[in-house]
Amino acid sequence: MLKILEQLRGPQKMRVVCNGHPALRKNSAPVENVTKDIRELAERMIVTMLKGEMVGVGLAAPQVGINKRMIVLHTCLKDGASRAGATAGELLLEPRMPIALINPEIVSSSEEVATETEGCLSLPGVDGTVTRPEQVVIQASTLDGENFQIECGGLLGRCFQHEIDHLNGVLFYDRLSKTEQKKNYIIMKKIEKQEKRRLNS
């Protein structure tokens, strides 16, 4: 009976863990097999990304406290149309969003960089600008075993870099200038204190 109710309700949201949670600072393990649990986690991560108090364009498994190399993305425009000048990666992946990917890796990065404002569901209230390569070649697999290696730019390229950082225990705060880190320091500490209190309760 409980199972039927769960199916009727659909995948349940998960708690997004915040700065101070140990999962955010660990190196995550590769996903070896796409099990039923992995598929369920992907569905729940997508719901968490899209239906939370804050809507994200990406979410990495460590952000729900699970140190596995899986991310979900939703960087497409609302009407599903791809932007002018979109890279091959945007054209391939955006029509399939929201999408879950396993074991994403940066194969190579462009020399040109871009500076944009970033935010993170695990660092609510923290913002600042991050300079990253403008384009990256990404290798990843879908849950159905499709592998691709493709050039990604724009918001998608940035999002991949931000989410892959999470899989390596890196937060965008680490990449802010010293001045911007200082500006966000108090809020970072406040989030950390709240998270630790939650973990200990």
In whole angstroms, the minimum distance from the beta carbon of 119 to Zn ion comes to 8
In whole angstroms, the minimum distance from the beta carbon of 33 to Zn ion comes to 26
Residue 70 parent element (H or E): strand 70-73
Amino acid found at 66: I
In whole angstroms, the minimum distance from the beta carbon of 166 to Zn ion comes to 6
Of the listed pieces 74-82, 114-122, 152-160, 188-196, which binds Zn ion according to CB under 5 A? 114-122
Taking the least distance from each CB to Zn ion, the nearer of 44 and 158 is 158
Residue 80 burial by Cβ neighbours in a 10 Å radius (0-12, 13-18, 19+): exposed
53 has catalytic annotation? no
Amino acid found at 124: P
Taking the least distance from each CB to Zn ion, the nearer of 87 and 161 is 161
Of the listed pieces 18-26, 27-35, 76-84, 115-123, which binds Zn ion according to CB under 5 A? 115-123
Q: Say how far apart CA 35 and CA 124 lie, in whole Å.
A: 32
Residues numbered 60 to 89 that lie near Zn ion (CB under 5 A) are none
Site for Zn ion (CB under 5 A): which residue of 42, 70, 120, 126?
Answer: 120
In whole angstroms, the minimum distance from the beta carbon of 10 to Zn ion comes to 24
**Percentages (nearest 5) of helix, strand, coil residues in the chain:** 40, 20, 35
Instruction: Say whether the peptide bond before residue 98 is cis (omega within 30 degrees of 0).
Output: yes
Active-site residue set: 163
